[in-house]
């Protein structure tokens, strides 16, 4: 048997390569699940495709700690989480199955509330107070930055409310997209104005 024929027989076929890739992915999932179950992961993460782009979802044992839009740079976000929370950052898609299902329902206009534990450790002081208030703004409703400032206990801190929204670590789950300017225009949004408009239109339609 020629050496060339032996090499051809030994080379993995496309189907074999696909099977190997699937087996490796499954092994990674099992290892990630085992590591999470044993408390060996500081931050678990995955990405999910949505109508507003690919979202990075990250969680600690306490709950979801970060939702990031593509414009924020997912790698940069993961790096910041490794510094702020812990260096043991691991991809774990199964951890987020329920949240992904809830996101599907939200974008289908069938869900108005997210039932998931949140870890708000990345927000502090007045910004945390603002985020706590934003969670009370009803689905389909909007509120001005000025009204949010007043409701958060500092009526003159309109710019600070804008900063809290712009640095919200949990967009969608903490609905900063429901905060608009006093003149009725949208204002800014860390996911981009097209994403904010889509979310507002989605909720208004539902």
How much is the pLDDT for 40? 82
How much is the pLDDT for 1? 53
Q: Is the pTM of this model over 0.75?
A: yes
Cβ 134 vs Cβ 148: under 8 Å: yes
Return the domain boundaries, the chain: 10-107, 125-205
How much is the pLDDT for 157? 96
**176 in catalytic set:** yes
> Of 176, 179, 195, 199, which residue is the catalytic one?
176
How much is the pLDDT for 39? 62
DSSP one-letter string for 27-84:
HHHHHHHHHHHTT--SEEEEEEEETTEEEEEEE-SSSEEEEE-GGG-HHHHHHHHHHH
Cβ 69 vs Cβ 114: under 8 Å: no
The ranges of the chain with pLDDT < 70 are 1-39
How much is the pLDDT for 6? 47
CATH of region 125-205: 1.10.10.10
How much is the pLDDT for 108? 97
How much is the pLDDT for 25? 46
């Amino acid at each position: 048997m020629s050496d060339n024929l032996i090499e051809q027989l030994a080379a993995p076929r496309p189907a074999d390569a696909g099977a190997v890739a699937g087996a490796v992915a499954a092994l990674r999932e099992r290892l990630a699940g085992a590591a999470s179950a044993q408390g060996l992961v500081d931050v678990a993460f995955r990405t999910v495709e949505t109508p507003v782009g690919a979202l990075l979802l990250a969680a600690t044992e306490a709950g979801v700690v970060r939702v990031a839009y593509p414009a924020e740079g997912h790698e940069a976000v993961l790096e910041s989480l490794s510094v702020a929370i812990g260096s043991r950052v691991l991809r774990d898609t199964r951890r987020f199955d329920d949240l992904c299902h809830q996101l599907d329902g939200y974008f289908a206009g069938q869900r108005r509330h997210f039932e998931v534990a949140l870890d708000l450790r990345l927000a502090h002081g007045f910004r945390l107070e603002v985020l706590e208030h934003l969670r009370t703004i009803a689905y389909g409703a909007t509120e001005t930055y000025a009204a949010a400032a007043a409701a958060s206990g500092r009526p003159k801190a309109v710019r600070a409310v804008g900063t809290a929204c712009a640095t919200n670590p949990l967009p969608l789950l903490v609905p900063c997209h429901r905060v608009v300017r006093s003149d009725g225009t949208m204002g800014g949004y860390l996911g981009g104005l097209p994403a904010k408009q889509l979310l507002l239109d989605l909720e208004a339609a539902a």
